[in-house]
């Protein structure tokens, strides 16, 4: 009981050295020391939190140090953020699909490769045990050019499907609310994140319909949906498969006979990977069967390995890391250099090298934590700004935040270990 009371009162003491200093001056009693030593973080090693005290003693220096580390954190966040954004953006279209399995031609090693399979294979898949439905998705990457009055014709990606079985996640409910508008001829919804170069305006629903030309034929853009851009695609349209057939005659006499992707929904009672395996065996070499997640990973891996994007951003992140190591080292090394006499005195008193290692690691961890917080907050703000500016999906997931936190910790500890050499060099013999 008494212990509880004591600890409560200790916590009740405001963590303000200045205030406590005045308190202690007023009543210099023995009991006041107990609370005094409780200030600041506690350590098993020593009750005087020297690491914390030394770090926070000079507020100006602390601010400089924390800003430097926050800067490195922002650099790393931005680099990783863009990298993720670029990868995320290329698979955004897959993420938007409401299906469990995807069928595609084995030669379609990337989504943008235009090889297709015959629609009749979907009927085979649809009749398979455990499959609820198998519907086509038509995608036109290269053969679609959108033009508005007084503008150049620009390539655009066009997606088409059976409007009654949309297979879209449609998080913004834009498709559901405007689905009926797409029944009419020459109609489409345009991605509101498409580049403004197309000449269309997405400010409000009242602006629609807006008319342009798709492959030389009139197109009425009747509304918007929300997806996003990536490297290869600066905009998206969705329309009914019937309209799609009229625009892309180069696909042959029966344009809808050749399917880009087949979207399969699996019976919720069934195990998706088992259905995938069985379906794979049935379809043979004609069609590959991938789970949605596997397709996303395959696509990201392809961009990561077969393009310099992965390397560029990894180098960028590393540079942020190195900048952080240098800044953090400067801070810690200066802190040590300024107190060389004091540290040498501690050595003379009998403090071991192990103590200095712990002290430096503590300081590194504090710096990492203090620098990471503002860095992460600032990065989040910048992510929002970037996302609105580039229409890239800049997302800060917990996993990505933890990766940067870990990198920051490692960064500061490396600097700490480098700075430690200076500390080991502190020679108590020079004090006399």
Partner 1 sequence: MNVGLNDQQLSELLATWPVDHAALSVDVDHVNHHYGTGEMRKQVLFDNVLKILPGEIVIMTGPSGSGKTTLLTLIGTLRSVQEGSLKVLGQELLGITPTSTTELRKRIGFIFQAHNLFESLTAFQNIRMATELLGIPDDQANARIEATLRRLGLGARIHYRPKALSGGQKQRVAVARGLIHEPGLILADEPTAALDAESGREVVTIFQELAREKQCTIVIVTHDNRILDVADRIVSMVDGRIVTNVLVRRNALLSQFLTQIELFKVLSTTVLSKIADRFDLRKFAVGSEIIQQGGVGREFFVIGAGSVAIEIDGRQVNTLEQGSFFGEMALIRDQPRNATVRALTPVSCFVLEKDDFQTVVQSSSSFEEELRKAIFNRQ
Q: How far is the CB of 362 from partner 1 (least distance, A)?
A: 14
Rule CB under 8 A: say whether 30 interacts with partner 1.
yes
Is 57 a binder of partner 1 (CB under 8 A)?
yes
Residues 315-354 that bind partner 1 (CB under 8 A): 339, 341-342, 344-352
- 3-state DSSP of the chain: CHHHHHHHHHHHCCCCHHHHHHHHHHCCCHHHHHHHCCCCCCCCCCCCCHHHHHHHCCHHHHHHHHHHHHHHHHHHHHHHHHHHHHHHHHHHHHHCECCCEEEECCCCCCCCCCCCEECHHHHHHHCCCCEEEEEEEEEECCCCEEECCCCCCEECEEEEECCCCCCECCCCCHHHHHHHHHHCCCEEEEECCCCHHHCCCCCCHHHCCEEEEECCEEEEEEEEECCCCCCCCCCEEEEEHHHHHHHCHHHCCCHHHEECEEEEEECCCCCHHHHHHHHHHHHCCCCEEEEHHHHHHHHHHHHHHHCCHHHHHHHHHHHHHHHHHHHHHHHHHHHHHHCHHHHHHHHHHCCCHHHHHHHHHHHHHHHHHHHHHHHHHHHHHHHHHHHHHHCCCCCCCHHHHHHHHHHHHHHHHHHHHHHHHHHHCCCHHHHC
**Of residues 12 and 30, the one with the C-beta less far from partner 1:** 30
Considering beta carbons, is residue 57 or 385 the nearer one to partner 1?
57
19 makes contact with partner 1 (CB under 8 A): no
Is there binding between residue 43 and partner 1 (CB under 8 A)?
no
Report in angstroms how near the CB of residue 369 gets to partner 1 at its nearest: 19
CB of 349 to partner 1, least distance (A): 6
CB closer to partner 1, 14 vs 185: 14
Of 2-10, 53-61, 169-177, 326-334, the segment contacting partner 1 by CB under 8 A is 53-61
Part in contact with partner 1 (CB under 8 A); list of ranges 17-25, 158-166, 277-285, 298-306: 17-25
Binding part of the chain for partner 1, among 32-40, 117-125, 167-175, 204-212 by CB under 8 A, reads 32-40
- Check binding of 35 to partner 1 (CB under 8 A): no
Q: Which is nearer to partner 1, 143 or 428 (CB)?
A: 428
Nearer to partner 1, 113 or 431 (CB): 431
Q: How far is the CB of 63 from partner 1 (least distance, A)?
A: 16
Nearer to partner 1, 146 or 420 (CB): 420
Is 285 a residue that touches partner 1 (CB under 8 A)? no
Q: How far apart are CA 309 and CA 231, in angstroms?
A: 11
Q: How far is the CB of 233 from partner 1 (least distance, A)?
A: 57
Question: Which is closer to partner 1, CB of 30 or CB of 253?
Answer: 30
Does residue number 15 form part of the binding site for partner 1 (CB under 8 A)? no
Q: Give CA separation, 268 vs 73, 277, 396, in Å.
A: 43, 16, 31
By CB under 8 A, tell whether 46 contacts partner 1. yes
Question: Per rule CB under 8 A, is residue 48 in the interface with partner 1?
Answer: yes
Asked whether position 13 contacts partner 1 by CB under 8 A, the answer is: no
Q: Hey, which residues between 351 and 380 contact partner 1 (CB under 8 A)? A: 351-352
**Residues at the contact surface with partner 1, assessed by CB under 8 A:** 21, 24-25, 28, 30, 33-34, 36-37, 46-48, 50, 53-54, 56-57, 339, 341-342, 344-352, 427-429, 431-432
């Amino acid at each position: 009981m008494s212990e509880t009371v004591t600890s409560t009162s200790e916590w009740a003491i405001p963590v303000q050295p200045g205030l406590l200093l005045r308190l202690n001056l007023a009543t210099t009693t023995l009991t006041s020391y107990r609370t005094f030593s409780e200030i600041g973080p506690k350590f098993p090693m020593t009750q005087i939190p020297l690491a914390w005290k030394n770090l926070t003693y000079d507020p100006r220096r602390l601010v400089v140090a924390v800003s430097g580390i926050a800067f490195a954190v922002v650099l790393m966040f931005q680099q990783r953020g863009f990298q993720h954004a670029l990868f995320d953006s290329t698979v955004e279209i897959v993420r938007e699909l409401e299906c469990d399995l995807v069928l595609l031609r084995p030669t379609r090693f990337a989504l943008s490769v235009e090889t297709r399979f015959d629609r009749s294979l979907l009927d085979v898949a649809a009749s398979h045990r455990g499959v609820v439905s198998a519907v086509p998705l038509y995608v036109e990457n290269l053969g679609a050019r959108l033009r508005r009055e007084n503008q150049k014709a620009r390539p655009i990606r066009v997606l088409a499907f059976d409007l009654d079985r949309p297979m879209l996640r449609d998080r913004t409910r834009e498709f559901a609310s405007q689905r009926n508008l797409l029944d009419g001829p020459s109609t489409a919804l345009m991605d509101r994140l498409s580049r403004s170069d197309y000449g269309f305006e997405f400010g409000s629903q009242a602006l629609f319909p807006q008319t342009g030309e798709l492959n030389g034929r009139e197109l009425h853009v009747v509304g918007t949906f929300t997806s996003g851009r990536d490297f290869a695609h600066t905009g998206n349209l969705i329309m009914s498969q019937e309209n799609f057939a009229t625009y892309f005659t180069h696909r042959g006499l029966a344009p809808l006979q050749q399917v880009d992707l087949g979207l399969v929904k699996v019976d919720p009672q069934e195990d998706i990977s088992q259905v995938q395996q069985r379906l794979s065996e049935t379809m043979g070499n004609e069609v590959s069967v991938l789970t949605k997640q596997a397709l996303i990973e395959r696509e990201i891996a392809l961009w990561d390995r077969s393009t310099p994007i992965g390397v560029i951003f990894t180098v960028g992140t590393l540079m942020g890391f190195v900048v952080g190591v240098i800044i953090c080292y400067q801070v810690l090394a200066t802190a040590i250099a300024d107190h060389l006499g004091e540290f040498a005195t501690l050595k003379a008193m009998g403090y071991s090298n192990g103590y200095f290692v712990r002290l430096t690691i503590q300081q590194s961890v504090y710096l990492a934590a203090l620098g990471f917080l503002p860095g992460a907050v600032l990065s989040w703000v910048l992510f929002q700004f970037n996302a609105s500016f580039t229409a890239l999906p800049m997302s800060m997931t917990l996993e990505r935040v933890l990766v940067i936190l870990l990198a920051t910790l490692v960064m500061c500890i490396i600097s700490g270990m480098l700075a430690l050499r200076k500390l080991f060099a502190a020679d108590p013999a020079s004090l006399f």
